[in-house]
Structure 1
Amino acid sequence: MQKRVLISAVCLPLLGAAAAPQQASLHLTFEGLRSQKGSIRLCLWRDPAGYPDCTRGTGATKESVPAANPVLDITGLPPGDYAVSAIHDENDNKKLDKSFIGMPTEGVAFSNNAKIAFGPPKFEKVRFHVDGETTQTMRMRYFL
């Protein structure tokens, strides 16, 4: 009987440690910026609600980094699937500027460097898995 109690007392803390939530980190690097002016504004998405527009995405994590240093580390993330949409806000007006026909006049980028055709790529194309330490290098694209 004493052996069972002793084994339970030793193993119980180990079971609690195994149940502790694991945390992950995401290292983002942005390449292909046409200038070091302004900021890179991005949204980190867990689900497609509101994607890709950060102004409508209430569930997205919003971050900003200077374009002169286009690197960001996000820590303490629960492991899972994520997506990133980003703009190069060159004039720092906190929005994506567009031409009179709706074409972006500032840079845009998406995780997985998903192709941009007639509008932003679908959420499924930009989604990627974060587990442990994950890295994404995103290429900024300019249309005008």
Structure 2
Amino acid sequence: MKQLLALLGLLCFSMQAQSPELALTITNIQSVKGTIEIGVFNTHDNYLKEGAAYKNYSIVVTDNSETIIIKDLPKGEYAISMYHDKNSDDKCNKNFLGIPKEAFGFSNNIVPKFSAPSYEDCKFVLNDNEKMDIKLTAF
């Protein structure tokens, strides 16, 4: 029994070691208050659908640039979206046209012009440790 537990422990450790680290730096934070809400999507089917992110992360804003180290994403293809929830109401506030009133950002630093970017525009492959910068944009 002890051998089985040791083997399972070793297997779990080895699986964790295979997950790469993503160092995500968010820049152009205009206000040092609230949180940055991050959604990580792993398919185009659920991309940008509310409540459908593969993983969610939240960072309390303490500076004009914030970094989060994500260690729990297995190797694969992803797209990231985020917004600065300045008023901490847990939603991306939008105007009557549906345009975000709070700053937002996407992987690959895609800046949308007339509609939200596609999964294809924002996707990236995470196979090894990676650093990524995302600049927040506000309209």
User: TM-score, normalising length from structure 2?
Assistant: 0.81
1:37-90 per-residue CA deviation (whole Å, 9 max, x = no partner) reads 10000111111222124x231x52011001225211111322111110000000
Q: CA deviation at 1:103?
A: 1.5
Q: 1:112 aligns to what SS in structure 2?
A: helix
Amino acid in structure 2 at the alignment position of 1:51: Y
Aligned residues between the structures: 123
Q: Which of 59, 67, 78 in structure 1 is aligned with 2:61?
A: 67
8 Å contact from structure 2 (residues 111, 137) kept in 1:
no
Amino acid in structure 2 at the alignment position of 1:74: I
Q: CA deviation at 1:92?
A: 0.5
Q: Distance in 1 between matches of 2:137 and 2:83?
A: 9
Q: Does 1:109 align with 2:105?
A: yes
Larger Rg: 1
Q: Distance in 1 between matches of 2:88 and 2:46?
A: 22
Structure 2 unaligned regions, length at least 5: 1-10
The 3 A distance-change label for structure 1 pair 76 and 102 is closer
Q: Distance in 2 between matches of 1:56 and 1:68?
A: 26
Amino acid in structure 2 at the alignment position of 1:63: Y
Q: Distance in 2 between matches of 1:37 and 1:76?
A: 26
8 Å contact from structure 1 (residues 50, 56) kept in 2:
no
Q: Does 1:40 align with 2:36?
A: yes
User: TM-score, normalising length from structure 1?
Assistant: 0.79
Q: Does 1:79 align with 2:106?
A: no
Q: Distance in 1 between matches of 2:112 and 2:57?
A: 22
Structure 1 unaligned regions, length at least 5: 1-16
Q: What does residue 129 of structure 1 align with?
A: 125
How much is the aligned-residue C-alpha RMSD, in angstroms? 1.6
Q: 2:113 aligns to what SS in structure 1?
A: coil
Q: What does residue 4 of structure 2 align with?
A: none
Q: Distance in 2 between matches of 1:64 and 1:77?
A: 15
Q: 1:77 aligns to what SS in structure 2?
A: coil
Q: Does 1:140 align with 2:136?
A: yes
